[in-house]
Amino acid sequence: MKYLILVGDGMGDLPMPELDGRTPLEAAKTPTLDSLCQRGELFRTRTIPAGYPPGSDVANLSLLGYRPEEYYTGRAPLEAAAMGVKLDADETAFRCNLVTLSRETKSRVRMIDYSAGHISSDESHQLIEALERTCSTDRFHFKAGVSYRHILVVGGDYPFMDTVPPHDYIEKDVTEPWQRYMAVPEWKELLLKTSTVLENHPLNQKRIQAGKNPANGIWLWGEGKLPAVPSMFDRFGLRGSLISAVDLLKGLGVNIGLNIINVPGATGYIDTNYKGKADAALDCLKTQDYVFVHVEAPDEAGHQGLLQDKIQAIEDFDGKIVAPILRGLEERKETFRIIATMDHYTPLSLRTHTDSPVPTLLYDSREDKKGSGLNFSEKTGDIAGQEEGGTLPNGEALMWKLLQRQA
Ligand SMILES: [Zn+2]
């Protein structure tokens, strides 16, 4: 038996006037998802526990079968894992953005750009190396990631600081959180030192001359220790792979012992290498039991508020991921159970995530045509979800359902 989970990130949405009251998922042509749903089972899954932010990290951890209440320790340790940074048990990882801050007066700080103009990795690595050379101590170490996204590893106990994500403060005053950071002497020293090094770095002078946002500060957030998570094999008896363009997802996979497949040309947007991802999924199922395929594009289109791109992303998920994988499995005469769903909604009208339970379809190749008779959408999911047992309380329940086993 082969088990598959196919995720269109942020695919869920709200009815839109531009679409005569339909959602992008309803408006998109999704013949494969609809057919699987009609011949399979439709229900909803609660991916975001009450009180948790509806982030992709929390939601996808759920879809992998792990309860965030038990296993979520923060975003940075997952990204560190994806970068190959090994954390010791007493170390904490912080996300360390290179940002553009404006300090027009001594007391007020503004977040001009949470990404320092989406600085290139080439440039940012020079800056992070400079910081590691001049500002690291026994306790603080900088690890270079991609573009503006880096990691600060802190050894031992760290001074508490109520951190906030910098992208929540685009073009906004950050004086209040900045002062919270500066109230802790150890952080104050680090932040002032790093600012001085960055501001005086020739690379930043060049950026200013070229009219680009300089990376003149760091912003620390998303902190956590490495979660002690049992592997997918220990927990569910499965050996498998995870396919995604996104570091966060790769980090989740690394931590639960999944094989991470890096598909060339996987970009996280509608220009991604869909065929490469579908082929890779079919390939790993030749030797393994389980594959988790994540497609980022619908979420990105949602954040950018681009309706046509979101519809395109959903149609591509259907036509270029779900359809060829299904065809491949049928050609090989595999017996399989397949889930198609999303991690959360990313409504175009809100341009951010919500925590609604997500429509989920489950198709079993042995039970073809016994199914729900419904197309795959938020609305049909909500209808199915009203029935007794129609809404699964969490992703762990989804995993047991997929495996037809009890916890
Ligand atoms: Zn997501």
User: For position 193, what pLDDT does the model report?
Assistant: 96
In the block, residue with structure tokens 């991604």: 272
- Distance CA(398)–CA(46), nearest Å, equals 9
Tell how far the Cα of 383 is from the centroid of ligand 1, in angstroms.
Answer: 23
- 122 confidence band (pLDDT: 50, 70, 90): very high
pLDDT above 80 (res 51): yes
Question: In angstroms, what CA-CA distances link 74 with 15, 141, 150, 159, 227?
Answer: 32, 18, 15, 17, 9
Structure tokens, 31: 């013949």
pLDDT of residue 31: 98
Q: How confident is the model at residue 329, as a pLDDT?
A: 98
Predicted confidence at residue 372, as pLDDT, reads 84
Average of per-residue pLDDT across 396-407: 94
Q: How far is the CA of 148 from the CAs of 130, 194, 206, 266, in angstroms?
A: 15, 15, 17, 19
Measured CA to CA, the distance from residue 6 to residue 372 in angstroms comes to: 19
- For ligand 1, the distance from its centroid to the CA atom of residue 295, given in whole angstroms, is 9
Q: What is the CA radius of gyration of the chain?
A: 22
At residue 198, the pLDDT reads 97
- pLDDT tens for residues 197-248? 999 999 999 999 999 999 999 999 999 998 889 999 999 999 999 999 888 8
Query: If we measure between CA atoms, which residue out of 40, 50, 71, 74 comes closest to residue 362?
Result: 40
Task: Report residue 169's pLDDT band, with 50, 70 and 90 as the boundaries.
Answer: confident
Q: What's the 309 CA to ligand 1 centre distance in angstroms?
A: 16
* Measured CA distances, 312 to 16, 339, 353 (Å): 16, 21, 19
- In this prediction, residue 282 carries a pLDDT of 98
Distance CA 271, CA 249 (A): 19
Token code pair at residue 131: 């910081």
Q: How much of the chain, in percent, has pLDDT values that exceed 70?
A: 100
> How many Å apart are CA 69 and CA 74, to the nearest integer?
11
Listed residue (331, 347, 265, 249) closest to 298, CA to CA = 347
The per-residue pLDDT for 168 is 81
Residue 387 has pLDDT above 90, yes or no: yes
How many angstroms separate the alpha carbon of residue 82 from the centre of ligand 1?
17
pLDDT at 20: 97
Spatial CB neighbours of 262, under 8 Å, sequence gap ≥ 6 = none
Question: Is the model's pLDDT at 291 over the cut of 90?
Answer: yes
CB atoms under 10 Å from CB of 373, counted, come to 10
Name the pairing type of β-strands 2-8 and 41-45.
Answer: unpaired
Give the pLDDT band of residue 54 (cuts 50, 70, 90): very high
344 CA to middle of ligand 1, Å?
6
For CATH 3.40.720.10, the residue range(s) in the chain are 2-72+228-403
Enumerate residues with CB within 5 Å of ligand 1 (an ion): 9-10, 56, 299, 343
Among 155-169, 293-307, 351-365, whose mean pLDDT is lowest?
155-169
> How far apart are the two ends of the chain, measured CA to CA in Å?
19
Average the pLDDT over 310-333 and give the result: 98
What whole-number distance in Å separates Cα of residue 186 and Cα of residue 137? 11
Q: Taking residues 321-347, what's their average pLDDT?
A: 97
Q: Residue 345 C-alpha to ligand 1 middle, in angstroms?
A: 8
Residue 243 Cα to ligand 1 middle (Å): 14
The alpha carbon of residue 235 and the mean position of all alpha carbons in its chain are separated, in whole angstroms, by 22
Centre of ligand 1 to C-alpha 320, Å, is: 19
User: For the chain, what is the mean pLDDT?
Assistant: 94
- Retrieve residue 222's tokens: 């998303």
Average pLDDT on 22-38 reads: 98
Q: How far is the CA of 286 from the centre of ligand 1 (A)?
A: 28
| pLDDT tens for each residue of 71-112 | 999 999 999 988 889 999 999 999 999 999 998 777 799 999
Please give the distance, rounded to the nearest whole angstrom, from the Cα atom of residue 247 to the centre of ligand 1: 12
Among 46-60, 158-172, 305-319, which stretch is predicted with the lowest mean pLDDT? 158-172
pLDDT score of 361 more than 80: yes
Residue-level pLDDT at 239 = 97
Torsional sign, CA 338, 344, 350, 352: negative
Q: Nearest-CA neighbor of 268 among 246, 253, 283?
A: 246
**Which residues lie across from 391 on neighbouring strands?**
44
**pLDDT for residue 142 is more than 90:** yes
Q: In this predicted structure, what is the pLDDT of residue 171? A: 84
Find the 125 Cα to ligand 1 centroid distance in Å.
27
Burial (CB < 10 A; 0-12, 13-18, 19+), residue 98, is buried
Fold category of 2-72+228-403 in CATH: Alkaline Phosphatase, subunit A (3.40.720)
**Mean pLDDT across 124-137:** 97
Is residue 317's pLDDT more than 90? yes
